[in-house]
Amino acid sequence: VGRRCWVVLMMSSCNDPLFLQFKEAVASVLEPYAGTSAYSLHGQRVVVGQRLMQPASDLFLGWVTAELSGKQFYVRQLRDAKIKPLVVTFDAELLLSYALACGWVLARAHAVAGNADGISGYLGSNDQFDEALGDFSVSYADQAERDHAALKAAVRLGKVKAYLDA
Protein backbone atom coordinates (compact mmCIF):
# COMPACT_ATOMS: atom_id res chain seq x y z
CA VAL A 1 0.00 0.00 0.00
CA GLY A 2 2.96 2.29 -0.49
CA ARG A 3 4.09 2.36 3.13
CA ARG A 4 7.68 2.09 4.28
CA CYS A 5 8.85 -1.42 5.04
CA TRP A 6 12.28 -2.72 5.99
CA VAL A 7 13.69 -6.16 6.57
CA VAL A 8 16.55 -6.30 9.05
CA LEU A 9 18.94 -9.24 9.32
CA MET A 10 20.51 -9.74 12.72
CA MET A 11 23.09 -12.44 13.44
CA SER A 12 23.65 -14.08 16.81
CA SER A 13 27.11 -14.83 18.17
CA CYS A 14 26.52 -18.41 16.94
CA ASN A 15 25.76 -17.11 13.43
CA ASP A 16 22.02 -17.85 13.69
CA PRO A 17 20.00 -15.39 11.58
CA LEU A 18 17.01 -13.42 12.80
CA PHE A 19 14.97 -11.49 10.25
CA LEU A 20 12.77 -8.69 11.55
CA GLN A 21 10.30 -6.74 9.45
CA PHE A 22 9.52 -3.10 10.26
CA LYS A 23 6.31 -1.88 8.63
CA GLU A 24 5.13 1.70 8.77
CA ALA A 25 1.89 2.16 10.71
CA VAL A 26 -0.38 5.08 9.94
CA ALA A 27 -3.91 6.06 10.90
CA SER A 28 -6.53 3.40 10.18
CA VAL A 29 -8.61 3.86 7.04
CA LEU A 30 -11.61 3.33 9.32
CA GLU A 31 -10.95 6.45 11.40
CA PRO A 32 -13.19 8.73 9.28
CA TYR A 33 -16.09 6.34 9.98
CA ALA A 34 -15.30 4.81 13.37
CA GLY A 35 -13.49 7.71 15.04
CA THR A 36 -9.95 8.13 16.28
CA SER A 37 -8.26 5.04 17.68
CA ALA A 38 -8.10 4.52 21.42
CA TYR A 39 -4.34 4.05 20.93
CA SER A 40 -2.18 7.14 20.46
CA LEU A 41 0.45 5.15 18.56
CA HIS A 42 -0.56 3.57 15.25
CA GLY A 43 1.95 0.75 15.63
CA GLN A 44 0.48 -0.08 19.02
CA ARG A 45 -3.02 -0.22 17.48
CA VAL A 46 -1.82 -2.71 14.85
CA VAL A 47 0.01 -4.86 17.41
CA VAL A 48 -2.93 -4.95 19.84
CA GLY A 49 -5.23 -5.89 16.95
CA GLN A 50 -2.92 -8.69 15.83
CA ARG A 51 -2.63 -10.02 19.37
CA LEU A 52 -6.42 -10.07 19.65
CA MET A 53 -6.91 -11.86 16.33
CA GLN A 54 -4.12 -14.43 16.55
CA PRO A 55 -4.31 -17.32 19.02
CA ALA A 56 -0.51 -17.36 19.30
CA SER A 57 1.33 -14.15 18.57
CA ASP A 58 4.84 -13.53 17.29
CA LEU A 59 7.36 -13.34 20.14
CA PHE A 60 8.98 -10.32 18.47
CA LEU A 61 5.74 -8.45 17.72
CA GLY A 62 5.97 -4.87 18.91
CA TRP A 63 5.97 -1.23 17.87
CA VAL A 64 8.48 1.59 17.70
CA THR A 65 8.65 5.27 16.73
CA ALA A 66 11.65 6.47 14.71
CA GLU A 67 13.42 9.21 16.65
CA LEU A 68 14.36 11.46 13.75
CA SER A 69 11.23 11.28 11.61
CA GLY A 70 8.59 10.44 14.21
CA LYS A 71 7.28 7.72 11.86
CA GLN A 72 5.58 4.86 13.62
CA PHE A 73 6.24 1.19 12.84
CA TYR A 74 5.22 -2.21 14.00
CA VAL A 75 7.79 -4.98 14.13
CA ARG A 76 7.44 -8.71 13.60
CA GLN A 77 9.66 -11.66 12.93
CA LEU A 78 9.82 -12.31 9.21
CA ARG A 79 9.27 -15.94 8.39
CA ASP A 80 8.30 -16.79 4.86
CA ALA A 81 6.71 -20.10 5.77
CA LYS A 82 3.20 -19.39 4.61
CA ILE A 83 1.43 -22.38 3.15
CA LYS A 84 -0.82 -21.62 0.22
CA PRO A 85 -3.17 -24.49 -0.48
CA LEU A 86 -3.95 -25.28 -4.12
CA VAL A 87 -7.70 -24.83 -3.74
CA VAL A 88 -8.29 -25.50 -7.45
CA THR A 89 -7.15 -29.10 -6.89
CA PHE A 90 -9.59 -29.75 -4.02
CA ASP A 91 -12.50 -32.12 -4.46
CA ALA A 92 -15.90 -31.12 -3.01
CA GLU A 93 -15.29 -32.79 0.36
CA LEU A 94 -11.85 -31.23 0.88
CA LEU A 95 -13.11 -27.82 -0.27
CA LEU A 96 -15.94 -27.98 2.25
CA SER A 97 -13.52 -28.95 5.04
CA TYR A 98 -11.19 -26.10 4.05
CA ALA A 99 -14.08 -23.60 3.95
CA LEU A 100 -15.26 -24.73 7.39
CA ALA A 101 -11.74 -24.34 8.81
CA CYS A 102 -11.39 -20.85 7.30
CA GLY A 103 -14.81 -19.88 8.65
CA TRP A 104 -13.92 -21.16 12.10
CA VAL A 105 -10.66 -19.19 12.20
CA LEU A 106 -12.40 -16.03 10.99
CA ALA A 107 -15.25 -16.47 13.47
CA ARG A 108 -12.79 -17.03 16.32
CA ALA A 109 -10.86 -13.89 15.43
CA HIS A 110 -14.02 -11.80 15.30
CA ALA A 111 -15.37 -13.32 18.50
CA VAL A 112 -12.16 -12.45 20.33
CA ALA A 113 -11.75 -8.98 18.82
CA GLY A 114 -15.38 -7.93 18.67
CA ASN A 115 -18.41 -7.92 20.86
CA ALA A 116 -19.48 -11.57 20.46
CA ASP A 117 -22.67 -11.14 22.50
CA GLY A 118 -23.67 -8.07 20.55
CA ILE A 119 -22.99 -9.74 17.21
CA SER A 120 -24.90 -12.84 18.29
CA GLY A 121 -27.85 -10.72 19.40
CA TYR A 122 -27.80 -8.79 16.14
CA LEU A 123 -27.76 -11.97 14.05
CA GLY A 124 -30.46 -13.66 16.11
CA SER A 125 -31.19 -17.36 16.44
CA ASN A 126 -32.73 -18.05 13.03
CA ASP A 127 -30.80 -18.89 9.85
CA GLN A 128 -31.68 -15.69 7.96
CA PHE A 129 -28.09 -14.37 8.07
CA ASP A 130 -26.66 -17.78 7.13
CA GLU A 131 -28.99 -17.96 4.13
CA ALA A 132 -28.21 -14.39 3.06
CA LEU A 133 -24.47 -15.03 3.30
CA GLY A 134 -24.85 -18.26 1.31
CA ASP A 135 -26.94 -16.49 -1.37
CA PHE A 136 -24.37 -13.70 -1.61
CA SER A 137 -21.51 -16.21 -1.90
CA VAL A 138 -23.21 -18.12 -4.73
CA SER A 139 -24.05 -14.86 -6.55
CA TYR A 140 -20.45 -13.66 -6.12
CA ALA A 141 -19.07 -16.94 -7.48
CA ASP A 142 -21.45 -16.78 -10.45
CA GLN A 143 -20.37 -13.20 -11.19
CA ALA A 144 -16.69 -14.19 -10.97
CA GLU A 145 -17.33 -16.98 -13.51
CA ARG A 146 -19.13 -14.54 -15.85
CA ASP A 147 -16.28 -12.03 -15.51
CA HIS A 148 -13.70 -14.70 -16.26
CA ALA A 149 -15.64 -15.87 -19.33
CA ALA A 150 -15.86 -12.26 -20.56
CA LEU A 151 -12.12 -11.82 -20.04
CA LYS A 152 -11.33 -15.00 -21.97
CA ALA A 153 -13.61 -13.85 -24.81
CA ALA A 154 -11.90 -10.43 -24.89
CA VAL A 155 -8.50 -12.15 -25.06
CA ARG A 156 -9.69 -14.39 -27.92
CA LEU A 157 -10.98 -11.33 -29.82
CA GLY A 158 -7.72 -9.47 -29.25
CA LYS A 159 -9.34 -6.73 -27.16
CA VAL A 160 -7.17 -7.60 -24.17
CA LYS A 161 -3.59 -8.87 -24.18
CA ALA A 162 -2.82 -11.75 -21.87
CA TYR A 163 0.65 -12.75 -20.76
CA LEU A 164 1.34 -16.17 -19.36
CA ASP A 165 3.86 -16.76 -16.60
CA ALA A 166 6.95 -18.49 -17.88
Give the confidence band of 49 by pLDDT, cuts at 50, 70, 90.
Answer: confident
Q: Give the pLDDT confidence score for residue 55 in this predicted structure.
A: 75
Q: Give the pLDDT confidence score for residue 165 in this predicted structure.
A: 64
For residue 3, which of 43, 41, 32 has the smallest C-alpha distance? 43
Q: Is the pLDDT of residue 1 over 70?
A: no
Q: pLDDT tens, 60-116?
A: 999 999 999 999 999 999 876 666 788 889 999 999 999 999 888 888 877 777 677
Please report the DSSP string for 18-45 in residue order.
EEEEEEE----TTHHHH-S-S-SSHHHH
Beta-carbon contacts of residue 57 (< 8 Å; ≥ 6 apart): 50, 51
Strand, coil or helix: 76: strand
Q: pLDDT tens, 106-155?
A: 888 777 776 777 777 878 888 998 899 899 999 999 999 999 999 999 99
CA terminus-to-terminus distance, the chain: 27
Work out the mean pLDDT of the chain and round it to a whole number.
Answer: 87
Q: Give the pLDDT confidence score for residue 81 in this predicted structure.
A: 62
Q: Give the pLDDT confidence score for residue 125 in this predicted structure.
A: 86
Residue 55 or residue 96, greater confidence: 96
Q: Give the pLDDT confidence score for residue 96 in this predicted structure.
A: 92
Q: Is the pLDDT of residue 42 over 90?
A: yes
Side-chain-side CA neighbours of residue 125 (13 Å): 0
